[in-house]
Amino acid sequence: MSGNVLRRLNSSALEAPSLPPTVQRLFVTDRRSRPSFSHCWVSTEMPSNHRIMEEYRVNDACIQLVSCDDELGVRYHIRPLEYELPTGQVLALNQVIANILANPPNELELEMAAMQKSVLRLARLELGKIYIRSNEKISSERLGSLASIVARYTVGLGLFEILLSDDHVEDIFIDAPADSNLVHVALNQVGRAGILRCRTNIIASTSEVKCLIARIRYFSGRPLSESSPILETDILDGRARATAISAPLSPEGPAIALRRHSRNPWTLMRLVHEGSLDCMTAGLISFLIDGRSSILICGPRGAGKSSLLAATLFEFPRTQRILTIEDTPELPVRQMQSLGFKVQSLVVEQRSGETREDKTVDALRVSLRLGESAIVLGEVRGKEAQVLYESMRTGKAGSSVLGTIHGDSARSVYDRAIHDLGIHPEAFTATDVVMTLGLNRPFGTQQPVRRLLELVESNKGSPGDFQGLVRYSAEGDRFESAFQSRSDVIARIAVSWGISFEEALRDIHARAEMRKILLDRSKASYDFLGPDWTAKSNNFLWRAKENGERDYQKIVDRFRALVTGGAR
């Protein structure tokens, strides 16, 4: 459907806003379209020299990743179904959407999923009546698609709900003033563990951004005003995180950043598949978790700290009780519970008159009284660190402690802990291992990739000194292991297990080989990278050792037979 027809259907609305010359050049023409019930404009054409790199569908929308010879970067080109419908169907949608907004069903609930289900049922009924009256035939499948569009534009997030349903999308950015800026997205690159930053063919009007914020406020119950110009909350039943800002913090108007949580939980094997680490490093991390080590994960924003933290949790045995403390729920608690893990989630929500630090300290102190457990902190960043390290030093923190912290190296984490967080140097040595993630730019390209830059252990006798166990080499894009001859943390675990250092190394190598088997099998099925097979591989090793098996090569061979034979 052409942009001109769409505008005639929306004669009461303002015409498409004028764009700055720099943005206009991104369009072949100034042909933009939108149905009357949406306030997002979509560019309908592509440049003549474009090349489609990838094409797929999300819900009823066609997504194309497009490169152009005379441009740097990639375009994210979306063609939503509602923007291409014939005139009669757009009119029917407009009528039903207007009716529902004016007369919402009585049974609407606060949960978005329940509301959408209710509206879907009502929309299908109302659309069916329209087509019965007009004697026009419509398939059941198309009727369902139209009802989904109604739900998106009444109790959903409109066009942005499609973007948040795209498994490739990690972040969505709507910058102010919205009328003059293209919406941008950050995509994960399958197989490269990198970030692809793209401009889209979408321009969200300021009114659309305000409507989006109004829906977010409704579901969160949190304010956004001149006195409180920042709103952070989970949306879509925890599937994404929204951060909205308004005046006076954003003088050009409201702006929003949406971060989509991964639908499939991260595992070490998924990170290996994406290139963030290798099988040997995954085997070492599995060994360290099994040995109840305390680990900090550092790196800049977007480097994948939360993903790696989530991945390590599946290396715990199901018998280990785990307590997670977060202010933004990102860890895969529900998925772990569904697999039989014993996980208790503590979510810190800041209320009026309270600080996040005080709430986190309270949650941490409660966790220390909930019995022997591994403690997982979503982020270590305030005075709760003092409570944490005091507990670790005195042995009150239980099995092990895991957490993320901002920093670009183990040394920078140590300096921040000592000078900014007030941790005593001797207390910091309770940290066994620091893992540093980074965003690498191969050959200086504009498309960074995520890599584990270093994995080091803390020198217990010399605070602030670290011994390298794994180091990333950008030359050749490979990981170099340095723990084969000496490692205090591996030696400590070996002593606690009653084995020699050499046998501990054989244990690590066996875990690495088992993960290599899963990686090879993932070419046939992606399921081999998931948490279920991670748990199966660990259980297989633990059962073999409990049965007195000490020949690690035989254990690996039997595991290979299990995997390749398809036995479950």
Summarised one tens digit per residue, pLDDT across range 536-563 is 999 999 999 999 999 999 999 999 999 9
- What residue ranges in 214-326 does DSSP mark as E strands? 230-235, 240-245, 255-260, 295-299, 321-326
pLDDT band, residue 8 (cuts 50/70/90)? very low
- Mapped onto helix, strand or coil, the DSSP state of residue 363 is helix
pLDDT of residue 191: 46
Cα separation, 490 vs 48, in Å, equals 59
pLDDT of residue 90: 94
CB atoms within 10 A of CB 110: 9
Low-confidence winner among 146-150, 209-213, 324-328, 403-407 (lowest mean pLDDT): 324-328
Cα separation, 173 vs 185, in Å, equals 6
pLDDT band, residue 475 (cuts 50/70/90)? confident
Cα separation, 514 vs 529, in Å, equals 12
Cα separation, 36 vs 82, in Å, equals 10
In the predicted model, is pLDDT for residue 2 greater than 70?
no
Is the whole-model pTM more than 0.95? no
Mean pLDDT to the nearest integer, 52-81: 89
pLDDT band, residue 50 (cuts 50/70/90)? confident
pLDDT of residue 194: 66
pLDDT band, residue 15 (cuts 50/70/90)? very low
Q: Tell me what percent of the residues of the chain surpass a pLDDT of 70.
A: 86
In the predicted model, is pLDDT for residue 52 greater than 70?
yes
Mean pLDDT to the nearest integer, 241-256: 94
- The token duo for 494 is 């070996």
- Return the higher-pLDDT residue of 231 and 111: 231
Mean pLDDT to the nearest integer, 135-164: 92
User: pLDDT (tens digit, 9 = 90+) per residue, 366-375?
Assistant: 766 666 788 8
- Mapped onto helix, strand or coil, the DSSP state of residue 502 is helix
Mean pLDDT to the nearest integer, 312-340: 89
pLDDT band, residue 107 (cuts 50/70/90)? low
- The token duo for 71 is 């441009």
CA atoms lying within 13 Å on the CB side of residue 331: 28
What distance separates the 2 farthest-apart alpha carbons in the chain?
84
In the predicted model, is pLDDT for residue 17 greater than 90?
no
- Relative to beta strand 321-326, strand 295-299 is unpaired
- Return the higher-pLDDT residue of 383 and 478: 478
In the predicted model, is pLDDT for residue 109 greater than 80?
no
pLDDT of residue 148: 95
pLDDT of residue 14: 39
In the predicted model, is pLDDT for residue 4 greater than 50?
no
- What residues have CB less than 8 Å from 28, skipping those under 6 apart? 43, 45, 46, 47, 48
Cα separation, 479 vs 499, in Å, equals 27
Average pLDDT, the chain: 86
Look up residue 24 and give its amino acid. Answer: Q
pLDDT band, residue 343 (cuts 50/70/90)? very high
- The token duo for 495 is 């002593």
In the predicted model, is pLDDT for residue 16 greater than 70?
no
